[in-house]
């Protein structure tokens, strides 16, 4: 079974200075109070819960997904509003909201009940053919960016500025490079970052996922089977989804991904910037 994992980088490392205990007992109380028809279903945590949300199995076919802090609450309404619009146009399954919970039982924010998607988080040992996987993923992103973006949520605070101008991250990135000088080639990382800034986005806004991480890609029978966690999705610069080329793909699979997505040099430069901090020493 898959494990939902949110890997969003949060610009505020402590968005909730008084964390709320989100556990099985709380979920049981919320479900019983608001959806009594499901009150007898077993509740258990997913194998790997994330930072942005805490996710629990509800029976065999559903999950309960609760924001872990106020900064992640906008994702609830966004996913409830837009995932049904996106799903019919995509070649792979994405989460489907079944119900929307409201604050209660000491929990202060809205929350979701979603349909469970079966699969395992994408790791190299679970993928039969990495190049085919890269092509399938690129096909998903191509389909996503072709969906009419009219009225969609423009990149901003709700997406932690994923899909927006990279200048938002300039000070943070330079601090990270300075902090990591004993682990990476700071000059090389700075050069990659400045090239990304110079390749500023000027294209039309398109839909992006916003968190293209291996934990949000599900594999079944060796192939890409579903894409989850659209909490940082929005409308803007697709380059934020290109990061997967450095965090999971390599060699022929990276080349195939770029070709299938038809990424130009400017988008490639903008998408490369997060991976540069991990691998600047061998760029």
197-248 residue pLDDT tens: 999 998 899 999 999 999 999 999 999 999 999 999 999 999 999 999 999 9
Are residues 86 and 150 both part of a single domain? no
* Domain-ending residue, one of 118, 137, 156: 118
More confident call, 3 vs 59: 59
**Domain count of the fold of the chain:** 2
pLDDT on residue 18: 54
Please indicate, yes or no, if residue 16 is contained in any of the structural domains. no
Query: For the whole prediction, is pTM greater than 0.95?
Result: no
Q: Within a 10 A sphere around the Cβ of 89, how many other Cβ atoms? A: 12
CATH code for the domain of 38:
3.30.200.20
pLDDT on residue 273: 62
224 three-state secondary structure: strand
pLDDT on residue 276: 41
CATH code for the domain of 227:
3.90.1200.10
Angle 61-45-87 (CA atoms, 0-180°, nearest 5)? 45
Distance CA 235, CA 87 (A): 16
Share of the chain above pLDDT 70, in %: 89
- Domain interval for residue 33: 24-118
Are residues 87 and 162 both part of a single domain? no
What is the torsional sign of CA 2, 69, 112, 38?
positive
Please indicate, yes or no, if residue 8 is contained in any of the structural domains. no
Structure letter (DSSP) for residue 12: S
pLDDT tens, residue by residue, 72-131: 999 999 999 999 999 999 999 999 999 999 999 999 999 999 999 999 999 999 999 999
Which residues lie across from 97 on neighbouring strands?
Answer: 114
């Amino acid at each position: 079974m898959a494990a939902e994992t949110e890997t969003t980088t949060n610009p505020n490392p402590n968005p909730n200075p008084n964390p709320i205990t989100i556990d099985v007992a709380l979920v049981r109380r919320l479900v019983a109070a608001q959806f009594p028809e499901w009150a007898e279903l077993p509740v258990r945590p997913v194998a790997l819960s994330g930072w942005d949300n805490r996710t629990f199995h509800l029976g065999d076919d559903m999950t309960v997904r609760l924001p872990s802090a106020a900064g992640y609450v906008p994702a609830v309404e966004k996913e409830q509003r837009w995932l049904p619009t996106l799903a019919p146009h995509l070649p792979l399954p994405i989460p489907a909201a079944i119900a929307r919970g409201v604050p209660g039982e000491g929990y202060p924010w809205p929350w979701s009940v979603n349909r469970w998607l079966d699969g395992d988080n994408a790791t190299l040992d679970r993928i039969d053919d990495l190049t085919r996987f890269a092509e399938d993923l690129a096909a998903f992103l191509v389909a996503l960016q072709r969906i009419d973006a009219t009225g969609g949520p423009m990149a901003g605070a709700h997406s932690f500025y994923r899909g927006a101008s990279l200048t938002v991250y300039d000070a943070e990135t330079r601090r990270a490079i300075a902090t990591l000088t004993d682990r990476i080639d700071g000059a090389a990382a700075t050069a990659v970052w400045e090239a990304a800034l110079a390749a500023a986005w000027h294209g039309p806004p398109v839909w992006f996922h916003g968190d293209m991480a291996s934990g949000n890609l599900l594999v079944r029978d060796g192939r890409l089977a579903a894409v989850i966690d659209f909490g940082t999705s929005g409308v803007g610069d697709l380059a934020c989804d290109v990061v997967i080329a450095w965090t999971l793909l390599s060699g022929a699979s990276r080349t195939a991904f770029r070709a299938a997505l038809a990424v130009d040099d400017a988008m490639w430069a903008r998408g490369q910037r997060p991976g540069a901090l991990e691998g600047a020493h061998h760029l």
